[in-house]
């Protein structure tokens, strides 16, 4: 009898402790640990998304868990470029496109631009024309490639082939457009904006931009509140009469609804993702080394069912882009349809071969790991929102689009209508900061004596030709009739490297196997395009390093 009483007593205590623990947990969730005030009270006060689980995976993306790796470790360096010095780097978790951006994906972008900014109107013509890929990249003076010139971008036979003829600048603009379309749909699906507005109510003066929505929501869609507050769940955020401040009646960053931006991956991210070292991980070490995104030292499959098949689309030798008819080495002569080959251990396709890919970085031969070995990236140009005289952010108007003429004569829009105008940060913005001191950091730690051919202080070099990075300066001018005229640089130059050249990674259908090594790196002018460079997008992960299913208790 005493045993039963003791057991019941212990059980009661255990249940009580469990309930107390749950209540304690709920209190932390519903009450402030700072003030004890209620969070998300119907009476008012601080509102916050306490039910947030983790970041949603955006369309087309796969999760890449971050970690440490040796960047730039190549097994062959026949070019003797000395630009692959191994450095130990750590990459934060992020997301990356499962495949390269395809022709169909890019055509959707062009279709949207054509509908919203009709090229038939003179003031919008260069918005669309500036985004169209250069299909003439397929031409060869001693080759018949007119079929690709006329069909590769638009014909449905090539719909799921990687887009090419796209410059780095065009790829970056596509990324911004993609961010806005994905977040616009998320707001619509969750009932915060008017359903169907993205099809029926959009023109040049009424577009959606993510940063504009977060910073000046009342100015999105040209200030049309029927769209921004027209969703079935908009009233759950409050009504306009509840507060004089718009921050309480629109989705904010703290709600966790909108995704971070789609962007080009950094070089370090791309190389880390391509290697897929997670496949050879054993506890806290890597078992051996990998030369390619797949395991092993060879480009042919050793699998019994696929033995001898090539594992990527690349050039096997002189005059051999695809193999012998009837038994093709890699199933392609130019680019191949995405997902034609097996994915690597992160689930990413074509991280070697098919097309090389733009990454975000400005090229320099040396990766400066002595200054930074965490999320390494060269190319930061810090800006801030431009502010009107009345203190509001400046939104680019349809008649206020500023165009840039690139060195190749192509005209592109600096920002589209509906976006927030940007301006460089000032000295006051960086005053007494220890982590940055200027807006343009592309040349950071690149102006020391070792960057000069003659070891002179960078700002005291007697002649520009003595600079280590003394690249050609191509420019354009406009005559009295508005025609763009190229101007050749006749100055003696010592380098092709400049702040306008970007890294591209991975071998392509035109390359030998040497370039399939993810650590190999090359560069190309950011405003030029080829028939062998494409791109894919990445997205930063906010929050935990691992997904929920990968987390383990640490207490």
Rounded mean pLDDT, 286-299: 83
Give pLDDT, residue 508.
97
Q: Are strands 281-282 and 285-286 parallel, antiparallel or unpaired?
A: antiparallel
Of the two residues 487 and 516, the one the predictor is more confident about is: 516
Q: Is 146 exposed, middle or buried (0-12, 13-18, 19+ CB in 10 A)?
A: exposed
* Chain centroid offset of residue 278 CA: 22
**How is residue 503 annotated by DSSP?**
E
Give pLDDT, residue 9.
59
Q: In whole angstroms, give the CA distance from residue 537 to residue 506.
A: 15
* Chain centroid offset of residue 212 CA: 19
Whether 160 has a pLDDT exceeding 70, the answer reads: yes
Rounded mean pLDDT, 122-133: 94
Q: In whole angstroms, give the CA distance from residue 266 to residue 272.
A: 10
Indicate the helix (H) or strand (E) that contains 271: helix 267-275
Whether 543 has a pLDDT exceeding 90, the answer reads: yes
Give pLDDT, residue 64.
97
Give pLDDT, residue 551.
56
Band (pLDDT 50/70/90 cuts) for residue 507 is very high
CB 322 within 8 A of CB 330: yes
Give pLDDT, residue 453.
63
Taking alpha carbons only, the member of 374, 503, 364, 373 closest to residue 445 is 364
Band (pLDDT 50/70/90 cuts) for residue 81 is confident
Give pLDDT, residue 491.
78
Give pLDDT, residue 261.
98
Whether 28 has a pLDDT exceeding 80, the answer reads: no
Give pLDDT, residue 244.
41
Place of tokens 């689309």: 313
Name the CATH topology of 58-112+125-182+258-369+502-549.
3.90.1580
- Total residues found in the chain within this entry: 555
DSSP states of 46-84: ----TT---PPPPTTEEEE--EEEEET--S--TT-----
Calculate what percentage of the chain has a pLDDT beyond 90.
Answer: 63
307-340 burial string, b = 16+ CB within 10 Å, else e?
Answer: eebbbbbbbeeeeebbeeeeeebbebebbbbbeb
Q: In whole angstroms, give the CA distance from residue 464 to residue 494.
A: 10
Identify the top-confidence range among 11-15, 468-472, 527-531: 527-531
Residue 57 to residues 62, 94, 176, 260, 539, Cα–Cα distance (Å): 7, 10, 17, 11, 9
DSSP states of 172-233: HHHHHHHHHHHHHHHHHHTTSS-TTHHHHS--TTS---HHHHHH-GGGGGGG-HHHHT-STT
**For the chain, which residues make up each domain, given as ranges?**
58-112+125-182+258-369+502-549
Q: Are strands 87-91 and 67-71 parallel, antiparallel or unpaired?
A: antiparallel
Taking alpha carbons only, the member of 372, 427, 405 closest to residue 487 is 405
Of the two residues 282 and 321, the one the predictor is more confident about is: 321
Inter-helix orientation angle 168-189/103-116, to 10°: 80
Average pLDDT, the chain: 87
Contacts of 450 (CB under 8 A, 6+ apart): none
Q: What are the tens digits of pLDDT across the range 448-486?
A: 665 566 666 555 666 666 667 778 887 777 776 767 777
What CA dihedral angle connects 297, 299, 302 and 308, to 10 degrees?
-150
Q: In whole angstroms, give the CA distance from residue 278 to residue 348.
A: 13
Q: Which of 172-176, 248-252, 306-310 has the lowest mean pLDDT?
A: 306-310
Q: What are the tens digits of pLDDT across the range 397-446?
A: 999 999 988 888 888 999 999 999 999 999 999 999 999 999 999 988 87
Give pLDDT, residue 484.
73
For 300-351, give the secondary structure using H, E and C. ECCCCCCCCCECCCCCCECCECCEECCEECCCCCCCCCCCCCCCCCCCCCCC
Q: What angle do CA 271, 275, 278 make, to 5 degrees?
A: 125
Whether 274 has a pLDDT exceeding 50, the answer reads: yes
């Amino acid at each position: 009898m005493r045993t039963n009483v003791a057991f019941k007593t212990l059980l009661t205590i255990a249940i009580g402790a469990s309930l107390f623990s749950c209540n304690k947990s709920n209190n932390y969730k519903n009450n402030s640990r700072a003030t004890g005030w209620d969070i998300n009270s119907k009476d008012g006060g601080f509102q916050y998304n306490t039910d947030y689980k983790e970041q949603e995976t955006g369309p087309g993306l796969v999760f890449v868990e971050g970690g440490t790796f040796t960047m730039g470790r190549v097994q062959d360096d026949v070019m003797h470029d000395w630009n692959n010095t191994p450095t130990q780097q750590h990459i934060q978790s992020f997301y990356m496109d499962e495949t390269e951006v395809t022709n169909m994906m890019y055509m959707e972008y062009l279709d949207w631009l054509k509908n919203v900014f009709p090229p038939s109107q003179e003031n919008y013509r260069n918005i669309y024309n500036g985004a169209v890929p250069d299909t003439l990249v397929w031409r060869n003076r001693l080759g018949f490639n007119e079929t690709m010139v006329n069909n590769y971008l638009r014909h449905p036979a090539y719909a799921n082939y990687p887009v090419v003829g796209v410059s780095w600048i065009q790829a970056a603009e596509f990324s911004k457009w993609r961010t806005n379309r994905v977040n616009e749909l998320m707001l619509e699906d969750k009932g915060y904006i008017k359903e169907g507005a993205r099809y029926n109510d959009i023109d040049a003066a009424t577009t959606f931009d993510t940063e504009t929505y977060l910073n000046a929501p009342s100015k999105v869609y040209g200030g049309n509140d029927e769209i921004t507050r027209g969703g079935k769940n908009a009233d759950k955020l409050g009504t306009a009469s509840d507060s004089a401040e718009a921050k309480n009646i629109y989705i904010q960053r703290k709600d966790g609804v909108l995704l971070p931006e789609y962007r080009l991956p950094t070089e370090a991210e791309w190389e880390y993702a391509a290697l897929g070292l997670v496949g050879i991980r054993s506890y806290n070490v890597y078992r051996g080394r990998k030369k390619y995104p797949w395991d092993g030292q060879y480009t042919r499959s050793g699998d019994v069912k696929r033995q001898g098949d090539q594992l990527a689309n690349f050039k096997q030798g002189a005059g051999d882009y695809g193999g012998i008819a009837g038994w093709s080495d890699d199933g392609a002569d130019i680019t191949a349809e995405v997902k034609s080959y097996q994915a690597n251990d992160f689930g990413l396709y074509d991280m070697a071969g098919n097309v090389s890919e733009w990454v975000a970085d400005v090229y320099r031969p040396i990766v400066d790991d002595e200054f930074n070995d965490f999320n390494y990236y060269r190319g930061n140009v810090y800006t801030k929102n431009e502010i009107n005289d009345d203190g509001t952010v400046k939104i680019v108007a349809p008649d206020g689009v500023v165009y840039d003429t690139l060195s190749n004569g192509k005209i592109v829009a600096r920002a589209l209508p509906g976006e927030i105008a940007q301006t460089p940060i000032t000295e006051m913005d960086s005053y007494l900061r220890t982590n940055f001191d200027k807006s343009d950091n592309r040349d950071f730690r690149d102006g020391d004596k070792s960057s000069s051919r003659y070891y002179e202080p960078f700002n005291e070099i007697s002649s520009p030709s003595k600079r280590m990075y003394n690249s050609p300066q191509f420019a354009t001018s406009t005559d009295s009739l508005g025609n763009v005229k190229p101007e050749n640089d006749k100055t003696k130059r010592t380098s092709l490297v400049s702040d306008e050249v970007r890294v591209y990674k991975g071998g392509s259908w035109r390359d030998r196997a040497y370039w399939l090594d993810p650590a190999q790196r090359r560069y190309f002018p950011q405003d030029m395009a080829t028939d062998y460079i494409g791109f894919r997008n990445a997205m930063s992960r906010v929050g935990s390093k691992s997904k929920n299913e990968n987390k383990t208790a640490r207490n």
